[in-house]
Amino acid sequence: MKRYSAFSIIKNGLAGHKHWERAWRDPKPKKAYDVIIIGGGGHGLATAYYLAKNHGITNVAVLEKGWLGGGNAGRNTTIVRSNYFREGNTAFYEHSLKLWEGLSQDLNYNVMFSQRGHLNLYFTPAQRDALARRYNTMRLNGIDGDWLTRDQVRKMVPHLNYAEDARYEIMGGYLQKRAGTARHDAVNWGFARAASNLGVDIIQQCEVTDFITKAGRIVGVNTTKGEIRAEKVGMAVAGSTSLLAHKAGLGNLPIESHKLQAFVSEPLKPFLDTVVVYANGHGHFYISQSDKGGMVFGGNIDGYNSYAQKGNLPIYTDVASCAMNIMPALGRIKVLRQWAGIMDMSMDGSPFISKTKIPGLYLNAGWCYGGFKATPGSGWCFAHTIAHDAPHEINKLLTLDRFEAGIHIDESGHGPFPKAH
């Protein structure tokens, strides 16, 4: 496929945009591949791309039961950051952020990555101390961060609620300047186009219905488009992980499927040029402004297990209350639409990218709130794990067997606790 360029945009614009090539091929599935990736979301497509680019494994199929962008990839709030503090997460998310910084050039596709910063607020001395711990951990690991006083926060975002009688008194915050947002569907399309260009087959409307085993090893899958064999099969299916894992014979995994809602308002003039967040015992809320002008915001998971891609009124109320507490000007805007993604919430709030006990089967799951921001790093590490039958140094702690060993990577405030729901 030809590279996108300013010249190609001008040329096709003058021709009425009638001569663009397909962004990616639409092939029929072959009978066998070296690797099958189940799940055509960002993680699955990124894995296929890095298998081809980094490891020269191009005989790869990505099997997607719906269409590209129809799952969680199109149902998130587009935030990218690396301000984690647990060993295992710090190095991984920082590696992912570095990949984000050159992703548009690497893929030859504009993923609309905007490093507008990520501002985390605090309201009490206890919250200040907790954020300071995270801030210090980040700096010790070479990750950027700036500690802001109340006055500095006010100068940066003057239309927050600084009133003396505010329910939550803003005391300050910490800022990661390199963080920001990206366009969720553009990321999928960019990885799909780049992977297809390297020879990867992307098969849409192809649901995996079962696994094919031989002598205890996974050797392929049954799908709605027939039987497809492969030496290695990787799963990256987010909230559907438990269902497919059961069919593969993995048994119970340390995850729960929950829905996480997000909201978009009517378009506004430029209003917020950074990401504003608080998640510290006074609720959970995050907001940014899209390139189209809509305010994109969300909060907590719904709090009960579900496979529904829709939400409920208690979370609407909770998120709206959180918004009004710190940004009363939002009270006059209209919410245009709402959606929910199905999240695979791990029991310690951290993911796993690893081999499984079943030969030939590899697992990428447990992303909780961190799935979108991890997209390039997840694909990069999962591709390495599949290609070498061993994790990379970056994801060596993010393995499934850590739960058996009792070595949890507990990022506070993310995953659910067992039997809590």
**Does residue 421 lie in a domain region?**
no
Percentage of the chain lying above the pLDDT 70 cut? 97
Tell me how many domains the chain contains. 2
Final residue belonging to a domain, choices 289, 316, 343:
343
Compute the distance between CA of residue 87 and CA of residue 89 in angstroms, rounded to an integer. Answer: 5
Pair 216, 227 in one domain? yes
Pair 188, 333 in one domain? no
Do the beta carbons of residue 348 and residue 410 sit within 8 Å? yes
- Mean pLDDT, range 256-285, rounded to an integer: 90
Pair 336, 188 in one domain? no
Do the beta carbons of residue 92 and residue 83 sit within 8 Å? no
Average pLDDT, the chain: 92
301 confidence band (pLDDT: 50, 70, 90)? confident
70 vs 364, more confident = 364
When mean pLDDT is compared across 72-76, 272-276, 335-339, 397-401, the lowest value belongs to 72-76
**Does residue 145 lie in a domain region?**
yes
Beta bridge partners of 355: 362
| CB environment 218-233: b (16+ within 10 A), e (fewer) | bbbbebeeeebebebb
Final residue belonging to a domain, choices 301, 325, 343:
343
Q: What's residue 308's pLDDT?
A: 83
Taking alpha carbons only, the member of 30, 31, 26, 64 closest to residue 45 is 64
Final residue belonging to a domain, choices 343, 368, 392:
343
CATH number at residue 263: 3.30.9.10
**Does residue 410 lie in a domain region?**
no
Pair 172, 262 in one domain? yes
Q: Exposed/middle/buried for 192, CB within 10 Å: 0-12, 13-18, 19+?
A: buried
CATH number at residue 401: 3.50.50.60
**Does residue 52 lie in a domain region?**
yes
Strand, coil or helix: 277: strand
**Does residue 13 lie in a domain region?**
no
* Sequence-ordered list of residues with C-beta below 8 angstroms from that of 331, at least 6 positions apart, any chain: 324
- Mean pLDDT, range 114-139, rounded to an integer: 94
**Does residue 411 lie in a domain region?**
no
Beta bridge partners of 342: 259
Q: Which of 177-181, 248-252, 275-279, 416-420 has the highest mean pLDDT?
A: 177-181
**Does residue 311 lie in a domain region?**
yes
Pair 386, 289 in one domain? no
**Does residue 307 lie in a domain region?**
yes
Q: Which residue blocks in 332-414 are alpha helix, DSSP H?
A: 375-388, 402-405
Pair 212, 323 in one domain? no
- Mean pLDDT, range 399-421, rounded to an integer: 71
Do the beta carbons of residue 164 and residue 78 sit within 8 Å? no
Pair 278, 165 in one domain? yes
Compute the distance between CA of residue 26 and CA of residue 421 in angstroms, rounded to an integer. Answer: 42
Taking alpha carbons only, the member of 129, 113, 116, 247 closest to residue 183 is 113
- Mean pLDDT, range 354-365, rounded to an integer: 96
How much is the pTM?
A: 0.95
When mean pLDDT is compared across 78-82, 170-174, 306-310, 395-399, the lowest value belongs to 306-310
Q: What's residue 351's pLDDT?
A: 94
Pair 213, 157 in one domain? no
Do the beta carbons of residue 62 and residue 195 sit within 8 Å? yes
| CB environment 42-60: b (16+ within 10 A), e (fewer) | bbbbbbbbbbbbeeebbbb
Pair 265, 173 in one domain? yes
Pair 248, 318 in one domain? no
Do the beta carbons of residue 173 and residue 118 sit within 8 Å? no
Q: Which domain holds residue 128?
A: 114-178+257-343
421 confidence band (pLDDT: 50, 70, 90)? very low
Pair 337, 370 in one domain? no
- Mean pLDDT, range 119-128, rounded to an integer: 94
Q: What's residue 413's pLDDT?
A: 47
Residue with tokens 């992912």: 96
1 confidence band (pLDDT: 50, 70, 90)? confident
Pair 39, 140 in one domain? no
- What pLDDT digit, counting tens, does each position of 40-72 carry? 999 999 999 999 999 999 999 999 999 998 888
- What pLDDT digit, counting tens, does each position of 5-52 carry? 999 999 999 999 988 989 999 999 999 999 999 999 999 999 999 999
* Sequence-ordered list of residues with C-beta below 8 angstroms from that of 393, at least 6 positions apart, any chain: none
Question: Which whole-number Å values give the CA distances from 206 to 84, 138, 237, 403, in the listed order?
Answer: 36, 42, 13, 32
- Mean pLDDT, range 346-351, rounded to an integer: 90
- What pLDDT digit, counting tens, does each position of 198-251 carry? 999 999 999 999 999 999 999 999 999 999 999 999 999 999 999 999 999 998
